[in-house]
Amino acid sequence: MNAPECNILVMGVSCFDGMASSMRVRNLIEPLVEKKLISVSNLIYQKDNKEPIGKAGTLNNINFKVIGFRLKNIFSVFGFIFGGLSFIKKSKKWGYKNILYNYNYPDIKNIWFILFAKLLGYKVIFDVIEDNSFQAHVGFINKLRIKTSVFLFNYSRHFANGMIGISEHLYKLVQKVTKNKIPAYLIPITVNLKYFKKNGIVKQKDKIQIFYGGSFGQKDGLEYLIKAFDEVSLIHSDAELIFTGMGHKLDMDRINAQIENATNKDKIIYKGFLNTNDYYTLLNECDIFCMTRVNSKFANAGFPFKLGEFLASGKAVIATNVGDVPNYLFNDINAMVVNPDSVEEIVDALLILIEHPEKRQALGKEARKTAEKFFDSDAVGMKLLSIFHQV
């Protein structure tokens, strides 16, 4: 096989942890790396303590460097900046098309890296996964980052070569920002199907396991899911609600307080942040998956990454009718689609699925087909490769 024509520098996210941001990029680029269609380096801002990888090296055929700084040591910002600039220069390969693939927006943290890469001859692509104009501001530093990101994004057509949106809303947003000066693309959520059993059927067991995994933000509507489960567990004592993932401390405190006040709190199990193998093993064991996003501007703008994994599991999925969901999911055909912010509708959907295993199996079969048709990382990754060749 010939050497890859494109050399990609991924920035803005680690390619090695298990959060949605990382998995978004991993699912897109790993199939291309495995097929030796691209070479990849990864500039990581902050070291992820969940998956210790060291400060620099090679993992999964991806060269990486961590350049994090500490707010308590203002002088560490110099190491952050010069370390990043050095890695960008070092990562450029002569004779290749060099592309800086930036996860989400330009902002005060990365704009110097972006402009430097552009100066060195990199093509620049932004993969936009949230609408920052709808994002809440928590803390001065985060507020400053968000404000600068919106400002810079509005002018990014002057230093970008292409933009990607993960949802219809974001695709329209990048089209508006580009003003037809640079190309805009739509690439939805993806899922690596190799992690999931084909038939989605598990052995008979004593418990019905209901699953949510993610970041526990207010957009995720977990307060409605917990209230609904509390009602359902009074009727079905064999049901368990399982949570995995991690979020901001304020969000976790809010969710933990609600769990503590639940009538059947002993049946709500938080497993913490799991490594990749343990996470997918758990997904293959659970019976019902819930994506209960609220009806907010921020929640409607994006496209929950976890939904692709839930569908790929071949199990029954409950999803709120927000954002791009109605483009792919149809009630009682490939999922139970409910209105957002409705405890009553979540309760009804859970009761139907718990009491009718044949319904779970039928919906799960169609859910898997939906994941294969629209979100297969192998197929969607090839679309990203075509974008690399076009810019």
| Domain CATH for 13 | 3.40.50.2000
Number of domains in the chain: 2
Supply the pLDDT for residue 2.
Answer: 58
Same domain, 205 and 290: yes
Same domain, 10 and 158: yes
Same domain, 223 and 341: yes
Same domain, 248 and 353: yes
202 vs 237, which has greater pLDDT?
237
Q: Model confidence over 345-366: pLDDT tens digits? A: 999 999 999 999 999 999 999 9
Supply the pLDDT for residue 1.
Answer: 45
Same domain, 238 and 288: yes
Least confident of 35-49, 77-91, 266-280: 35-49
Contacts of residue 48, Cβ cutoff 8 Å, sequence gap at least 6: 14, 16, 17
Q: Are 211 and 283 in contact (CB under 8 A)?
A: yes
Residue 1 domain-assigned? no
Same domain, 218 and 364: yes
Name the token pair of 262: 């639940």
With CA atoms as reference, report the closest residue to 193 among 378, 381, 385.
Answer: 378
Q: Model confidence over 187-229: pLDDT tens digits? A: 999 999 999 976 655 556 789 999 999 889 889 999 999 999 9
Same domain, 355 and 382: no
When pLDDT is averaged across residues 107-121 and rounded to a whole number, the result is 95
**Is 161 a residue whose pLDDT tops 90?**
yes
Same domain, 206 and 170: no
Q: Give residue 343's domain range.
A: 193-374
Output the CA torsion sign for 58, 59, 65, 66: negative
Residue 88 domain-assigned? yes
When pLDDT is averaged across residues 174-181 and rounded to a whole number, the result is 94
Q: pLDDT grade, residue 21 (50/70/90)?
A: confident
3, burial (CB in 10 Å: exposed 0-12, middle 13-18, buried 19+): exposed
Single-letter code of the amino acid located at 296: S
Supply the pLDDT for residue 36.
Answer: 94
Supply the pLDDT for residue 200.
Answer: 52
Supply the pLDDT for residue 52.
Answer: 65
Same domain, 177 and 209: no
Supply the pLDDT for residue 197.
Answer: 78
Name the token pair of 8: 């990609």
When pLDDT is averaged across residues 364-388 and rounded to a whole number, the result is 96
